Amino acid sequence: MPYCPLRREISLDRKKIGNKAESLACRLLTNKGLKVIERNFRCKTGEIDIVAKDDKYIAIVEVRSTTNYSFHDPLDSFTPLKIRRLRILSQIWLNSHDMQDAFIRFDIITVVFNAENNTKIRYIKDAF
């Protein structure tokens, strides 16, 4: 594939947006009383954005972000394949931390940035 500076610029912008969204998500979780245990857990199967803990549960948190000019809801990118992959990743994470018996739940945080610096954050606890 030929080098395309525009593609690289868009990719960097998406990465910056994603990192900013994850930082906002961590702040939201902390404000709600959860402790962020890990960010960006990676293995061959994929990545978990955030792993957090409250009094009872380990929360596997998926963060989805967009800008308002993309005209779609970040939840639209959540597919059955993504859900299945997150379930597998959660088991890998639990096994790697010797926490196989922990209670887990799956949360989703969506972040929509707009041109007026008015960020909209939606938190869906126990999403699936």
Contact of 112 with 65, CB cutoff 8 Å: yes
Sheet with strand 35-43: strands edge to edge: 35-43, 46-53, 58-67, 104-113, 120-124
Diameter of the chain measured on Cα atoms:
51
pTM for the model: 0.84
Residue 90 CA: distances (Å) to CA of 52, 58, 61: 12, 10, 10
pLDDT (tens digit per residue) in 64-76? 988 876 667 888 8
Query: What's the mean pLDDT in 48-62?
Result: 96
Element (H, E) at 43: strand 35-43
We find that the CATH architecture of domain 5-124 is: 3-Layer(aba) Sandwich (3.40)
Residue with tokens 């902390």: 30
The residues spanned by each domain of the chain are: 5-124
